Amino acid sequence: MRIGINASFLRKSATGIGQVTLHFLEQLPTVLSTWPIDQRPEVVLYVQEPFEGISDSGMRAKVFLPRWWRRDDILREWLWEKQVSFEAEQDGCDVFLSLFQSATVFDRTSPVRHVMVVHDLIPHLFPTYVSKYSQKFHWQMIERGIRFADSLIAVSDSTKNDVASCLGIERERVQRVYPGLAPMFLVSPSEGETAAVLARYGLRRGYIYHGGGLEIRKNTEGVLRAYALLRAEKKKNLVSVPPLVISGKVHEKTNKLATDVTSLIIELGLDDCVHLLGYVPADDLPALYRGAKFFVFPSQYEGFGLPVLEAMSLGCPVIAATNSSLPEVCGEAALLVDDKDIPALSVAMDRLLTETALREILSHQGRERAVDFSYVAFTEQVIQACVPEKL
């Protein structure tokens, strides 16, 4: 048997989908090693760029670009996703796994079984993400790809519900499989390691932390306004508030999908108490979570919500929103608030600043909740969906 895998998000490994792709492929050789030798499939990874991390995995990589369009843009993405079905058929693949929603479609007469992982339907739910014609066209082709897949996997029940309600796909066709945690979040950094990372960023323990990107959807504006309200209330009683630390690439002001965080900080008079770290390497995140008093993530929509799981795994108390997948991932291990309710978010922040017992409870419950998510289990279940007769 030969399994082809669309692993092109390896070139964007810092993104959520890139992380899922990377850690799935890291676990795949171990999972397949449990199969009888004569039943282990050959794995071919289809990518747009070479990736060193898979060279010693025993999996073969096939690197190609569309024949007549090499510029890295939406057109190339669509052409590549169309061409990869032809490549997989030519290579004799029995199963093709798309590790993210894509425009790849196999003809109904094709012998290739197509399994697709759907992470979210953001462009369907937030039309501002597809304001250009090329973006709209590509997303329409992606929705077509989702509909034509033989089997679908959603990374949360929330995304599964979105696939059913937004695309009219029967729920029975969609299997929910949770992603897991990267290895760096499975072991807490030591006190010395944490102190060294915080020192590089000029931080002291006890700050309020917000991360996960500065797209408008991530609701950084809500965090800043709630923080400003909290400071104003505390100032009346001469009580100080820890600084707010925000990580994530600061985009140009012309980016309509991103919060103009710099201007907003000045507008709210917070320039002396908010620290913008910019892009933070993944290796530094465990220490940033550990050094925080709590993590605040009132996103407007998540297909899964990796940042809250990362924070919980390290015992960092979490405030999250009541929408989409966040209640599902957090369970009872976080304070949940309406992402549009700024006063409620401010009150939740105040509670975690003042109620030591609550922080300790959420820290303990968060660690326990995070244990339920594993990339080994994710990989096993995805492969089972690809080859259901094998397991």
Whether the pLDDT of residue 52 is over 80: the answer is: no
Q: Which residues contact 312 (CB under 8 A, 6 or more apart)?
A: 318, 330, 333, 334, 366, 367, 369, 370
CB 103 within 8 A of CB 123: no
Q: How far is CA 181 from CA 10, 16, 310, in A?
A: 17, 11, 7
Q: How confident is the model at residue 213 (pLDDT cuts 50, 70, 90)?
A: very high
Residue 391 pLDDT > 80: no
The C-alpha torsion from 61 through 66 and 71 to 73, rounded to 10°, is -90
**Is residue 56 domain-shared with residue 189, that is, in the same domain?**
no
Is residue 173 predicted with pLDDT exceeding 70? yes
For residue 55, pLDDT over 60 is answered with: no
pLDDT reading at 266 higher than 70: yes
Q: How much is the average pLDDT of 7-36?
A: 92
**Same domain for 145 and 220?**
no
Is the pLDDT at 8 greater than 50, yes or no? yes
Least confident of 12-16, 107-111, 296-300: 12-16
Provide the pLDDT confidence category of residue 238 given band limits of 50, 70 and 90. confident
Q: In terms of residue numbers, what domain contains 166? A: 2-180+374-386
pTM recorded for the entire structure: 0.93
pLDDT higher at 238 or 114: 114
pLDDT digits (tens, 9 = 90+) for 178-190: 999 999 999 999 9
262 and 196 in one domain?
Answer: yes
**Sorting pLDDT into bands at 50, 70 and 90, what band is 32?**
very high
Query: What CATH number is attached to the domain comprising 92?
Result: 3.40.50.2000
Letter string b/e over residues 341-376, b meaning 16 or more CB atoms within 10 A of that residue's CB: bbebbbbbbbebbeeeeebeebbebbbebbeebbbe
Whether residue 155 is contained in a domain is answered as: yes
Question: Do 200 and 174 sit in the same domain of this protein?
Answer: no
Domain co-membership, 60 together with 199: no
**Do 139 and 192 lie in a common domain?**
no
168 and 283 housed in the same domain: no
Task: Assess contact for 93 and 111: CB atoms under 8 A.
Answer: no
**Which pLDDT value is given to residue 335?**
98
| Percentage above 70 pLDDT, the chain | 98
Residue 47's DSSP bridge partners are: 63
Same domain, 41 and 141: yes
List the beta bridge partners of residue 296. Answer: 319
Same domain, 238 and 130: no
Answer whether 159's CB lies under 8 Å from 118's CB: yes
Query: Does residue 391 lie within any of the structural domains?
Result: no
Q: Are residues 241 and 266 in the same domain?
A: yes
Asked if pLDDT for residue 70 goes beyond 90, the answer is no
Same domain, yes or no: 188 and 176: no
Average pLDDT, the chain: 94
Domain total for the chain? Answer: 2
Q: Please say whether the beta carbons of 67 and 84 come within 8 A.
A: no
Per-residue model confidence (pLDDT) at position 38:
86
Q: Average pLDDT for residues 145-173, to the nearest whole number?
A: 97
**CA separation for the pair 303, 150 (Å, rounded):** 21
User: In DSSP terms, which residues pair with 42 in a beta bridge?
Assistant: 2
The answer on pLDDT for 338 being more than 60 is: yes
Burial 136-171 (b: 16+ CB within 10 A, else e): eebbebbbebbeebbbbbbbbebbbbbbbeebebee
Q: Is residue 127 one of the residues assigned to a domain?
A: yes
Q: Is 389 exposed, middle or buried (0-12, 13-18, 19+ CB in 10 A)?
A: exposed
Percent of the chain's residues with pLDDT above 90: 87
Q: What average pLDDT score do residues 296-312 get? A: 97
- Residue 305 class from Cβ within 10 Å (0-12 exposed, 13-18 middle, 19+ buried)? buried
**Domain co-membership, 340 together with 223:** yes
